[in-house]
Amino acid sequence: MRENTREAILSAARRTAQARGYGGLNFRDLAADVGIKSASIHYHFASKADLGVAVVKRYREDATIALEAISDEMPDPLSCLQRYTDIFRAVLQNDNRMCMNNFMSAEYSDLPDVVKTEIEAFIDVNVAWIARQLSAASIVPIENSEKRARAVFSAIAGAQLLARGRSDISFYDSAISELRDAGILPSGGD
Amino acid sequence: MRENTREAILSAARRTAQARGYGGLNFRDLAADVGIKSASIHYHFASKADLGVAVVKRYREDATIALEAISDEMPDPLSCLQRYTDIFRAVLQNDNRMCMNNFMSAEYSDLPDVVKTEIEAFIDVNVAWIARQLSAASIVPIENSEKRARAVFSAIAGAQLLARGRSDISFYDSAISELRDAGILPSGGD
DNA sequence: ACCTGAACACCGTTCAAGT
DNA sequence: ACCTGAACACCGTTCAAGT
């Protein structure tokens, strides 16, 4: 027995979802990755929607843990934000992948409602964490931090999306450095 | 005879591509929209890739003309940029649609090469136009205007993408207003 | 010149059947 | 408990056939 087939499906699906989105997920390739037949996936996930929910939910949980780990380890919120943009960069470098949210926000109208809900929760986690760093760094008063965090998150997401659309990571670097120059992202940190 | 079947296909395809992307385009629905059979589309466009190229090419041409019209009519570059963000907002209001580039940058790895090339040309048109407004407004010295324009374009795109992912246009408004507060977008204009 | 039905290999899904 | 083959309606595509 290979540990846990369900987990193997989940992790293969997650990897695909960050490379080609929800629409890019297909049961036959996924099954081949895991070493079972397409029909067998339905034993673990009744429908593609169920698989999608599980993938995004796990993605959100992992992100939540990872972000908490960063802000726990690093006392300096400016360093935390620096690390944050580095993560988006690393994903691009990993075979031109993206944050799953960039795919799913684009695929919004084709997404099952349950998947939409999970994606919104993922966005909330990110925006809340960014808002905390921004107010901790006294960049923005706390009552404006949520609003600013939304702009920061979407600007980073947009930079990642466009860099992918050009297949050019320097587009990302350049956009992020401009955001810092403009002061929408702090330029401190290590 | 209904004017021009090829044009009817193109415009139906464009509308769909702004709602569901390249992957969301399908010959049977498209044919039904136009009032012919699926196989007949291949007479006008040999393959889906050919259709995709034609759609993006037309989209880029239309955008080029529209942007020139704006900067020709409006002497004030700040007003031009205000109009620019208004266009992205209007697209969102039109049934939660998006700039075609937001879909296609996400779908990048599934796009035929010829479509990728067209999308890159579309991005170039937008970035160049934004750069011109930024330097005309003396917001950025001309040698930095291209770099800044890339950041502006991707930030607007990201705001549109996230607003769609939340199905919440106020997300867009809020992000754009933060970009203005931060000075990455000018706050002047009418 | 323009359109069509029928066929192909591909998708998600279902289900009866295996172990 | 977990997996499978076969079938279904759906996709883009091809092609011989219509007008």
Residue nearest to nucleotide D2 (CA to C1'): A43
Residue A125 tokens read as: 């986690």
Query: How far off is chain B from A2, nearest CA to CA, in Å?
Result: 31
Q: Is B97 on the interface with A (CB under 8 A)?
A: no
Query: Is B88 in contact with B165 (CB distance < 8 Å)?
Result: no
* pLDDT on residue B36: 96
Q: Does residue B23 register a pLDDT over 70?
A: yes
How high is the pLDDT of residue B189? 54
Overall average pLDDT of the B21-49 stretch: 96
B2 pLDDT above the threshold of 80: no
- Do A150 and B104 make contact, defined as CB atoms within 8 angstroms? no
**Contact with chain B for residue A88, Cβ under 8 A:** no
pLDDT at A81: 96
Q: Is B4 left (phi over 0), alpha (psi -120 to 50) or beta?
A: beta
Confidence of residue A83 (pLDDT cuts 50, 70, 90): very high
Alpha carbon distances (Å) from B182 to A11, A51, A105, A180: 39, 40, 25, 10
Calculate how close chain B gets to A167, using CA atoms only, in Å. 8
Stretch B124-129: mean pLDDT: 98
Q: Cα(A146)–Cα(B51) distance, rounded to whole angstroms?
A: 42
A1-10, A43-52, A110-119, B27-36: segment of lowest average pLDDT: A1-10
Helix (H) / strand (E) containing A35: none
Task: Give residue B65's pLDDT.
Answer: 98
Q: Is the dihedral of CA B25, A110, A25, A85 positive or negative?
A: positive
A165/B98 CB distance under 8 A: no
Which residue bears the tokens 């009817």? B8
pLDDT of A139 reads: 82
Query: Does B185 score more than 90 pLDDT?
Result: no
- Residue A119's closest CA among B19, B37, B167? B167
- pLDDT exceeds 50 at position A190: yes
By C-alpha distance, the chain B residue nearest A183 is B182
- The answer to whether the CB atoms of A96 and B108 lie below 8 A apart is yes
Query: Residue B14: pLDDT above 70?
Result: yes
User: What are the φ and ψ backbone dihedral angles of B26, each rounded to 5 degrees?
Assistant: -140, 140
Residue B114 predicted with pLDDT over 80: yes
Q: Name B159's Cβ contacts closer than 8 Å, sequence gap at least 6.
A: A151, A154, A155, A158, B88, B171, B172, B175, B176, B179
Residues in chain A: 190
pTM for the model: 0.96
The answer, yes or no, to whether residue A183 has pLDDT greater than 90, is no
Which residues of chain B are within 8 Å of residue A107 when distances are taken between CB atoms?
21, 106
B130-163 tens-digit pLDDT:
999 999 998 889 999 999 999 999 999 999 999 9
For A28 and D5, how far is CA from C1' in angstroms? Answer: 14
| pLDDT score at B132 | 97
Asked if A50 and A112 touch (Cβ cutoff 8 Å), the reply is no
The mean of the pLDDT values for chain A is 94
CA distances from B147 to A186, B131, B140 (A): 18, 8, 10
| Strand D within 7 A of B37 CB | no
Averaged pLDDT score across all residues of chain B: 94
Distances (CA, A) of B113 to B13, B142, B182: 19, 32, 37
Distances (CA, A) of B54 to A12, A103, B62, B69, B105: 35, 24, 12, 22, 17
pLDDT number for residue B140:
87
Give ∠ CA A120-A166-B62 in degrees, rounded to 5: 90
Query: pLDDT tens across A98-149, in order?
Result: 999 999 999 999 999 999 999 999 999 999 999 999 999 988 899 999 999 9
CA of A102 to C1' of D13 (A): 31
Three-class secondary structure of residue A144 per DSSP:
helix
Q: How far apart are CA A95 and CA A20, in angstroms?
A: 11
Name the least confident of A117-131, A174-188, B9-23, B110-124. A174-188
The encoded tokens of residue A156 equal 């980073």
Q: What is the DSSP string of B83-122?
A: HHHHHHHHHHHTTT---HHHHHHHTGGGS-HHHHHHHHHH
Q: What is the mean pLDDT of residues A72-88?
A: 96
Predicted local confidence at residue B188, as pLDDT: 64
**Chain B hits for A155, Cβ within 8 Å:** 151, 154-155, 158-159, 175, 179
- Measured from the CB, is B37 under 7 Å from any atom of strand C? yes
Question: Rounded CA gap, B120 and B123, in Å?
Answer: 5
Give the pLDDT band (50/70/90) at residue B8: very high
- Any residues with CB less than 8 A from the CB of B10 and at least 6 apart, and which? B54, B55, B58
| A105 contacts A119 by C-beta, under 8 angstroms | yes
pLDDT at A1: 44
- Looking from the CA of B15 toward its CB, the CA atoms found within 13 Å total 11
pLDDT at residue number B174:
96
Contact B119 A175 (CB under 8 A): no
Of residues A133, A174, A171, A170, the one with CA closest to residue A152:
A133
